[in-house]
Amino acid sequence: MRLALLLIIFVSSACSQTDWQRWKKEEISYKIPDDYRKREYSFVSENIQEFLIKSLTNTYWFFISDLDGDNCPFHPSCSAFLLESVKETNILQGTLMFFDRFTRDMNLIDKKKHYPVIKNGRYFDPPAFYTLNSDTLISNLSDNFLR
Amino acid sequence: MMKKIFFAFLLIIVFNKTLFPQDELKEQFQFANKLYEQGKYFDAITEFKRLQFFDEKREYEFISNFLIGKCYKEGAKLSDAIFYFSKAEIGAASSQQIFDSRIEVIKSNILRKTISRALKMIDELKADERFFRKKDTLIYWSGWAYIINGEWDKAAEQFSQVSFANSLADLCDSIDSESYSVLFAKYISYIIPGAGQFYTGNFLSGLLSLGWNVLWGYTTVNAFIEERIFDGFAVANFLWLRFYSGNIQNAEQFALIKNLEISNKALDYLQYQFSGLKP
Amino acid sequence: MRIKPTVLLILIFFTRISGQENFLLHSPQKIKQFADFLFCDKDYLRAAEEYEKLFSISKVDSFLFLSSLAYSLSRNYNSAASGFSRISDLSLKPDAKFEFYKIKFIQEDFENFLSGEKDSDMKAEEQSLKRYLKLKGIFSLMHNETLNEEVILNTFQTDEVETIQKFFGFKKNPGIKSEVAAGLLSALIPGTGKIYTENFADGLMAFLSTGIFSYLSYSNFKAGHNFRGWLFAGLGGLFYAGNIYGSIASAQIFNAKLNIDFENSLKIFLEEKKYFSPDYGLCK
């Protein structure tokens, strides 16, 4: 037991600095974290095309996606990806991005290698990687791919 | 002349308790402890470390490490807390001190939600003859480990063994009976699609699930009756099966979500309103 | 000898009020011992605060230097930079100035970092200037400045040169993929653009999806099912166009990852070298 204790202490003291900033009392919540996927069903949109896509997506979510099981390995899911893509670009580019994503979704090989970051238990693959804007791409990649 | 020098020294000694190193340490300990009590945990750690640094005889080794651990715990820095509680254990002078530091490590593990570690440590202590008389305390904390893990039935079982934890046993029991059975929700949805959703109060989702399954089931059967075998397999495989398995997944998930809500409500109560011993 | 009451009072005053907390463990000498211990124990933030206390009591610049160094090591860069810039002791100034510009480099405040070249305080000592020039070399590598390889390599020590040469090698031949080529390839044969960017299975999937929908469309038109023919043609077309788009995006991602890898290896190198800070010999 003593040996194990010494080992713990030795291992932790190898990186002994922990207080990088002054800190204060902090409450530790007893609650169990809620990791279940939540849908954003609101119809709030900035323009008509966004409203149309959002209505379509909501309908798809409500009548199909929420009922046919968990089939999407990605975060955000394909429908949410379409929605965000249209929001970030335009309806044409968003559709192209969606079909590319759909093709990648069908590919079952090597996902771990290509999408190393896991969010909500899924491969993280946000539209920001595919808008062809190199600045957003680089900042998003370096934030999310600590390779 | 001599008289005056003597007088001067006397004055210095009277005014200056700190000429004695042991008193210096004591004063330092009190100072650090005061900071701890005032909730200035970061500074308290600095002062306890200062105390340790000058405490050549290691008289304060246990208590300073123990209190540093407590400070880190207050700051929600549980790994650091565990590190210092373990250091305290090494400097412990009695089996009571060993027990106290070990319990703090267990409590930190409970808060850190590394429950299996906490339970393993509790088992080790239960097997230790030195702590034969402490069984109740150990059972009490294993109850808490199960609470934080949301395993209310196991928690109730632990607390019912301890005379001073009757109210907790009752509470855990009632939470357990309030909870939904995940397996039941799942199995009834195997038999009647949507039933598990109804059981957990998600009526709309249950109806829709039932609707899809009836529709695709009917289409499949119809296709086979009309001997459109390919269509039958395609619909069964790509549509019916998809919605059928989705229905079971949903039933299970709804029950889990409901239980999570119930658990979290109880945990919130325990954290902020329950007045007994907590991790 | 007569001891005057005032002398006596001063004596008592000094022994009692030697530190802010009124007892001897907080005397300047003991604070120094404790601060050195914390520093070498890598508890840098606490060490910084102790050295700061010493500086506020004594106004000796070496304590300000130590406190700034400890702040820097605990990544409290603003406190560190402000401390280093206040140092006036001539013997400490070149090192302090180097540390200051190093922080500006880490904070990516490159305008201030580059102004170091004109700083005569730092240039006063050859070693500090050399260290600064090393950072400047890395800066040029990072920011695609016109590079004079020989001049930059000369500033580095022999054990560092090999790594730096590798970085230059990457700059000369980074192995990037052309976005235009990726797009054109996928336009000619669906999926090949993705294969070009080394996403082999994605490429195959793109080829299959476009192929299957084209075939379905063809066979439906042939069988006279015009609506289904158009529907599958439309879907096939979207997969085709989506794949061209995706191939361009994937070339872009490929290149961005190359650059990020390069920058990461630069960063790792810098971390290993502690951004060329000297070992001040504080902990033995």
- The 10s digit of each residue's pLDDT in B51-88 is 999 999 999 999 999 999 999 999 999 999 999 999 99
The shortest C-alpha distance from B100 to chain C (Å) reads 27
Domain boundary among C173, C194, C226: C173
User: How many DSSP H helices and E strands does chain C contain?
Assistant: 15, 0
Containing structural domain, residue C48: 1-89
| CB neighbour list of residue C284: distance below 8 Å, 6 or more residues apart | none
Backbone angles phi, psi at B61, to 5 degrees: -60, -50
Q: Would you say B86 and A6 are in contact if contact means Cβ atoms under 8 Å apart?
A: no
Chain mean pLDDT for chain A: 84
Same domain? For C83 and C94 the reply is no
Chain mean pLDDT for chain B: 92
- pLDDT score of B248 more than 90: yes
C partners (3+ CB pairs within 8 A) are: A, B
Check B212 against A25: CB less than 8 A apart. no
Which has the higher per-residue pLDDT, B214 or A113?
B214
Q: What pLDDT, on the 0 to 100 scale, is given for residue A16?
A: 56
d(C-alpha A106, C-alpha A104), whole Å = 5
C19 — pLDDT class (breaks 50, 70, 90): very low
Residues of chain A with pLDDT under 70: 1-17, 145-147
Question: How far, in whole angstroms, is CA C32 from its chain's centroid?
Answer: 32
pLDDT tens per residue across span B258-274: 999 999 999 999 999 99
Check B53 against C33: CB less than 8 A apart. yes
- pLDDT score of C3 more than 50: no
d(C-alpha B230, C-alpha B238), whole Å = 12
- pTM, whole model, 2 decimals? 0.83
Same domain? For C138 and C149 the reply is yes
| CB neighbour list of residue A65: distance below 8 Å, 6 or more residues apart | A77, A79
Check B267 against A31: CB less than 8 A apart. yes
Which residues numbered 3-42 in B keep a CB inside 8 Å of some CB on C?
4-5, 8, 11-12, 15-16, 18-19, 24-25, 27-28, 31
Q: What tokens does A147 get?
A: 């390779």
Q: Would you say A126 and A140 are in contact if contact means Cβ atoms under 8 Å apart?
A: yes
Q: What pLDDT, on the 0 to 100 scale, is given for residue C14?
A: 46
pLDDT tens per residue across span C174-205: 899 999 999 999 999 999 999 999 999 999 99
Backbone angles phi, psi at C56, to 5 degrees: -70, -25
Q: Would you say B152 and B146 are in contact if contact means Cβ atoms under 8 Å apart?
A: yes
Q: Would you say B155 and B147 are in contact if contact means Cβ atoms under 8 Å apart?
A: yes
HSE (side-chain half, CA atoms, 13 Å) at B78: 15
- Residue whose C-alpha is closest to residue B81's, from A138, A18, A96, C12: A18
Chain mean pLDDT for chain C: 89
Q: What pLDDT, on the 0 to 100 scale, is given for residue C153?
A: 84
Q: Which residue reads 């089931």 in tokens?
A: B217
Across residues C236-243, what is the average pLDDT? 96
Q: Lowest mean pLDDT of A10-24, A104-118, C77-91, C234-248, name the range.
A: A10-24
C18 — pLDDT class (breaks 50, 70, 90): very low
Q: Domain-by-domain residue ranges, chain A?
A: 51-56+74-147
CB atoms near residue A5 (< 10 Å)? 15
C171 — pLDDT class (breaks 50, 70, 90): confident
Same domain? For C163 and C221 the reply is no
Q: Which residue of B has its CA nearest to A62?
A: B205
Q: Would you say A116 and A147 are in contact if contact means Cβ atoms under 8 Å apart?
A: yes
What b/e string do you get for B126-164 counting C-beta neighbours within 10 Å, with b at 16 or more?
Answer: eebeebeebeebbbbbbbbbbbbbbbbebbbbbbbebee
Report CA torsion sign: B101, B105, B111, B112.
positive
Check C43 against A19: CB less than 8 A apart. yes
- Residue whose C-alpha is closest to residue B25's, from C246, C225, C30: C30
Across the interface, which of B12, B45, B51 has its CB nearest the CB of C12?
A: B12
Residues in chain B closer than 8 A to C15 (CB atoms): 12, 15-16, 18-19
Same domain? For C26 and C80 the reply is yes
Q: What pLDDT, on the 0 to 100 scale, is given for residue C12?
A: 44
- What does each C-alpha distance from B92 to A47, B137, C79, C137 come to in angstroms? 69, 20, 39, 54
To test the contact with chain C by mutation, choose from B4, B38, B46, B47 the residue with the greatest count of C C-beta atoms within 10 A, namely: B46
Q: Which residue of B has its CA nearest to A2?
A: B90
Check C23 against B28: CB less than 8 A apart. yes
B116 — pLDDT class (breaks 50, 70, 90): very high
Q: What pLDDT, on the 0 to 100 scale, is given for residue C242?
A: 97
The shortest C-alpha distance from A33 to chain C (Å) reads 31
C197 touches chain A (CB under 8 A): no
Q: Domain-by-domain residue ranges, chain B?
A: 19-112, 115-178, 182-271
| Ordered DSSP codes for C176-235 | PPPHHHHHHHHHHSTTHHHHHTT-HHHHHHHHHHHHHHHHHHHHHHHTT-HHHHHHHHHH
**Beta-strand relationship, A122-124 and A118-119:** antiparallel
To test the contact with chain C by mutation, choose from B38, B50, B77 the residue with the greatest count of C C-beta atoms within 10 A, namely: B50
Does the residue C159 lie in any domain? yes
Residues in chain A closer than 8 A to B267 (CB atoms): 30-32
A20 touches chain B (CB under 8 A): no
Residues in chain A closer than 8 A to B263 (CB atoms): 32
Classify domain B19-112 by CATH architecture.
Alpha Horseshoe (1.25)
Same domain? For C157 and C193 the reply is no
Residues in chain B closer than 8 A to A28 (CB atoms): 76, 78, 111
ipTM of this model? 0.83
Looking at this protein, which amino acid is placed at residue A74?
F
| CB neighbour list of residue B41: distance below 8 Å, 6 or more residues apart | A23, A24, A25, B35, B71, B72, B74, B75
- pLDDT score of C6 more than 80: no
| Ordered DSSP codes for chain A | -HHHHHHHHHHHHTT----SS-----PPP-SPP------------SSHHHHHHHHHHHHHIIIIITTS-----EES-HHHHHHHHHHHS-HHHHHHHHHHHHHHHH--SSHHHH---EETTEEE--GGGSSS-HHHHHHHHHHH---
Q: What pLDDT, on the 0 to 100 scale, is given for residue A138?
A: 87
- pLDDT score of B206 more than 70: yes
Residues in chain C closer than 8 A to A95 (CB atoms): 238, 242
Check A23 against B75: CB less than 8 A apart. yes
Residues in chain B closer than 8 A to C11 (CB atoms): 8, 12
Across residues B87-104, what is the average pLDDT? 96
Same domain? For C95 and C85 the reply is no
Same domain? For C51 and C108 the reply is no
pLDDT tens per residue across span B35-45: 999 999 999 99
Do you know the residue count of chain C?
A: 284
Same domain? For C106 and C189 the reply is no
d(C-alpha C57, C-alpha C17), whole Å = 13
Q: Would you say C210 and C258 are in contact if contact means Cβ atoms under 8 Å apart?
A: no
What's the number of domains chain C is made of?
A: 3
- What does each C-alpha distance from C194 to A109, B265, C186, C237, C259 come to in angstroms? 14, 50, 7, 17, 19
Residues in chain A closer than 8 A to C201 (CB atoms): 107-110
- pLDDT score of B129 more than 60: yes
C11 touches chain B (CB under 8 A): yes
Which has the higher per-residue pLDDT, A147 or C266?
C266
Q: What pLDDT, on the 0 to 100 scale, is given for residue B4?
A: 62
C126 touches chain B (CB under 8 A): no
Check A9 against B271: CB less than 8 A apart. no
Domain boundary among C173, C197, C225: C173
C1 — pLDDT class (breaks 50, 70, 90): very low
Does the residue C158 lie in any domain? yes
- pLDDT score of C11 more than 60: no
Q: What pLDDT, on the 0 to 100 scale, is given for residue C207?
A: 96
Q: What pLDDT, on the 0 to 100 scale, is given for residue C174?
A: 87
Q: What pLDDT, on the 0 to 100 scale, is given for residue A110?
A: 78
Domain boundary among C122, C149, C173: C173
Residues in chain B closer than 8 A to C14 (CB atoms): none
Say whether B55 sits in a helix, a strand or coil. Answer: coil
C268 touches chain A (CB under 8 A): no
Q: What pLDDT, on the 0 to 100 scale, is given for residue C13?
A: 45
Same domain? For C119 and C71 the reply is no
